Amino acid sequence: MQAQNGTTTETLPIAPWRVFTVTVGAVRRLSPSFTRVTFTGADLDRFADNGYDQRIKLALPLPDQREVRLPEGEDWYTTWRALPEHLRNPIRTYTVRAVRPHLAEVDVDLVLHGDSGPATRWARRVRAGDELALVGPDAGYDGDHGGVEFRPPTGATLLLAGDETAVPAISAICERLPLAARGTVVLEVPDADDVLPLAAPPGIDVRWLSRGADGYGSRLVPAVAAAAGELLAPGTTPAAQPVPDVDVDTGILWEVPDEVAGAPLYAWLAGEAGVIRNLRRHLVAERGLDRRAVAFMGYWRLGRADTD
């Protein structure tokens, strides 16, 4: 690039992701288990509205603080990792619920369960005026930003399922589905009052399940098994496939295939890792669903603290 004074300057390439400095503009309690936080920021008009299950990262305040400042520069993450723990703002992963670039706003729905880690403590105490850092996709980048795992084959019947941590992602996915989409959504939530408005095409059957005092997956597992049986084409008996086990206590269950053309059924499942592992075994090893058309994501693990 040639400057007016004759010197040559270089235009730095735009990265897929960038750090946005944001302020909490509003906090709205949606139900006993869900709170919606609306973030505002001078440059959120540059936040890419990719929809579906777009992941982002939030850098949360340290104890007794109401603002966050991440290190600057391309290598900010390495610099952040090198900070002493007491100076390192916790970073957690969330799903975008809605984007309004024309208003420079991003909504994130938070799940309120427990008070054992920095993310859940922050979610219960967040208030308007708090400042954070949001790491998300830059609309100026001309390419795949990453962070979207919902990639169904064209025309496939859909099976979407998860616990309360998957509700924001599944809600956003359903809003972007084509009008002709067909399939079943199964959502397990703690309380009957956690059933939220969910816009979906008429061919999508949405089933909300309240587990009450029962364990995670107590409603989800049998309901997903039943839905899979309903959605499989009558008379078809897919061959069961062996699946390698995943130790969800020491590793991460995250098996997301690329799009497979022609697969008749596409499943997207997310939530507590132990529950998702059981569903993975059932759907692939017992039902015979094609592993290349099933996304399994352990969003969190019961009894294990959330991590960066």
H helix count then E strand count, the chain: 5, 12
Kindly give the confidence (pLDDT) of every residue in the chain, 308 residues in length, as a single tens digit, with 9 standing for 90 and above.
Answer: 444 555 544 566 888 999 999 999 999 999 999 999 999 999 999 999 999 999 999 998 888 777 788 887 778 888 888 988 888 888 999 999 999 999 999 999 999 876 667 788 888 889 999 999 999 999 999 999 999 999 998 899 999 999 999 999 999 999 999 999 999 999 999 999 999 999 999 999 999 999 999 999 999 999 999 999 999 866 565 666 777 778 777 888 899 988 677 788 999 999 999 999 999 999 998 888 888 889 999 999 887 666 55
Establish if 125 belongs to a structural domain. Answer: yes
Q: Are residues 172 and 277 in the same domain?
A: yes
Cα-based torsion angle of the residue sequence 163, 291, 279, 297 in order, rounded to the nearest 10 degrees: -30
CA 236, CA 152: separation in Å to the nearest integer?
20
Type of residue at 189: V
Torsion of CA 186, 188, 192, 193, to 10 degrees: -90
User: How many domains does one find in the chain?
Assistant: 2
Range of the domain at 74: 17-137
Identify whether residues 199 and 268 lie together within a single domain: yes
Tell me the CA distances in angstroms from 78 to 30, 50, 72, 74, 227, one per residue in order. 36, 27, 11, 9, 44
CB 153 within 8 A of CB 262: yes
Residues 207 and 264 in one domain: yes
The two beta strands, 91-100 and 105-111, are: antiparallel
